[in-house]
Structure 1
Amino acid sequence: MRWLFFITFLMLFHSTMGSEDLIQLSCKKAAAGDPNLSFNFCVSSLEASPRSHGADLEQLVAITLNLTISNATSINSTISRLLVDKRFDKYAKECLQDCLELYSDSVPTLQEAIGAFQAKDYDKANIEVSSAMDASTTCEDGFKEKRGEVYPLKKENHNFCQLNAISLAFINTLSGT
């Protein structure tokens, strides 16, 4: 009986190590292919998700896409709070309103990416993720148009870009490109 317990323990231990190895290896490859992608961010984002333990690469893509949707939803909440903040002038509020629309649009775009990915249409998934990723750049660019304007979503924007970059790298690995 102890022998059976020991074998079961070894199998569970090995499968856990395998998923963490996959996360490490996948993130290492992704970061090597994109100088803007942080290996540490990739690993910590995936390891923080309980669903990633024991996941294969396809499941990791789905996890990162869902993390990105959650991130966009959180950014929308932050923007909604900032829109009522009296610290921001009319120009900043107009930029924030544009950002709210961009990030709101990114949620269904990322949901389309999930559908395309599940259908193994990696090209369409790639296009949808890239399109969603543009929200962060466009949002930030709006603030840069006025000299001295402070962009209040820098960290959130960076995380959104990182999550999209992870998804793109993993999708490209699966598609062989």
Structure 2
Amino acid sequence: MSTPSSILFTLTILILLCSLHSCVCDNRLIQETCKNCSKSDPNIRYKFCITSFLSDRRSHCAKNLHELGLISIKLTRRNVTDTSAHINELLKKKKSLDPFVKACLNDCLEVYSDAISTLREAIRDYKAKRYADSNVKLSSIVDASTTCEDGFKQKNYVISPLTKRNNDTFQLSAIALSIINMLIHMDKLKGTF
């Protein structure tokens, strides 16, 4: 005869397995979204898109494109925040920094610091389904990463210490923009825009 605790344990395991199964099924949403993003924008690499979403456990159980879009903006915000902190760490090494590199890093810090508050606004707009407003703000994040990287290119033989981070910011922003454009298109098809 089964004890109440063994029945409870069995039910807990079954519920956990069912929830894991539904999350695995929802990974198709990530795959389909990344496929569409990489098709619509040559700057978005499919593998980068998949890897980015899979790095955030919330995306595994996203129920729809709107939820996945919010996650993509939050991934961008996390990247921008981490990059800003990384720039601060690089600037603490003042004595060993070339003056030109230091100036570029200061410019990048300013751009990335502004981007953090811009992303907060983009998230508010996105949650309110003001996709066009969110789109404009996210476009400025793409510009911020490009501006930062281009600053280092103004002097020959200077290698940006932020190239990978800038590229990641660019792609994460592009993914979020691509999803917003999909949502805008879906709203137009439904006639709710």
TM-score of the superposed pair, with normalisation by structure 2: 0.83
Q: Please tell me whether residue 156 in structure 1 is matched to residue 156 in structure 2.
A: no
Structure 1 residues 46-86: Cα deviation after superposition (integer angstroms, max 9, x where no partner):
11211112212111111111111111111111111111323
Structure 1 residues 9-59: Cα deviation after superposition (integer angstroms, max 9, x where no partner):
885465223310000000000001111111011111111211112212111
What does residue 191 of structure 2 align with?
none
Q: Please tell me whether residue 28 in structure 1 is matched to residue 39 in structure 2.
A: no
RMSD between superposed Cα atoms in Å: 2.1
Q: Which runs of 5+ in 1 are unaligned?
A: none
The percentage of counterpart residues that share the same residue type is 43
What does residue 59 of structure 2 align with?
52
Residue identity opposite 1:34 in structure 2 = D
Q: Distance in 1 between matches of 2:162 and 2:92?
A: 15
Please report how far the alpha carbon of residue 159 of structure 1 lies from its aligned counterpart in structure 2 after TM superposition: 0.8
Q: Distance in 1 between matches of 2:21 and 2:158?
A: 52
Residue identity opposite 2:23 in structure 1 = T
Q: Distance in 2 between matches of 1:73 and 1:62?
A: 16
What does residue 25 of structure 2 align with?
18
Q: Please tell me whether residue 121 in structure 1 is matched to residue 130 in structure 2.
A: yes
What does residue 108 of structure 2 align with?
99
Q: Distance in 1 between matches of 2:61 and 2:125?
A: 23
Size of the aligned set, in residue pairs, is: 175
4+ long deviations beyond 4 Å = 7-11
What does residue 73 of structure 1 align with?
81
Residue identity opposite 2:174 in structure 1 = A
Q: Which runs of 5+ in 2 are unaligned?
A: 1-6, 187-193
Q: Distance in 1 between matches of 2:55 and 2:101?
A: 34
Q: Distance in 2 between matches of 1:143 and 1:101?
A: 15
What does residue 90 of structure 2 align with?
82
More divergent stretch after superposition (42-51 vs 82-91): 82-91
TM-score of the superposed pair, with normalisation by structure 1: 0.90
